[in-house]
Amino acid sequence: MSFELEAVIDPAHPALPGHFPGNPIVPAVVLLAEVAAAIETTMGPQARLLGLPSVKFLAPLAPGERFRIVIETRQPPLIRFTLLHRGKAFAAGSAEIGT
């Protein structure tokens, strides 16, 4: 089963100043927090993120850009996620969940 959610990181997010002045990008930790929230939204509050065995960032994301989070739950407790911007993957990985 797979789920898709849309997200956007507010340009006023407190993690953005200094990352990088003049050419801001969203820090990986902020994107991973969005993935964790998407897992909870799609699978319920009992689905806790236990670890991230694999994560690959392929391209940066600018603050304010809309993106999609695709969660694939084919083999829990290991699930796959992909972050898409304008139809192209800019990050992907696996997450281990527990209840």
pLDDT tens digits, one per residue of 56-77:
999 999 999 999 999 998 887 8
pLDDT tens digits, one per residue of 9-35:
999 999 888 778 788 999 999 999 999
Return the domain boundaries, the chain.
Answer: 2-98
pTM: predicted TM-score of the whole model, two decimal places: 0.92
Structure tokens at 40: 């909870």
Q: Which residues fall within 8 angstroms of residue 70, CB to CB, at 6 or more apart?
A: 2, 3, 4, 81, 82, 83, 84
Q: 2-98 has which fold?
A: Thiol Ester Dehydrase; Chain A (3.10.129)
Structure tokens at 53: 């065995």
Arithmetic mean of pLDDT, 24-47: 92
Arithmetic mean of pLDDT, 49-53: 93
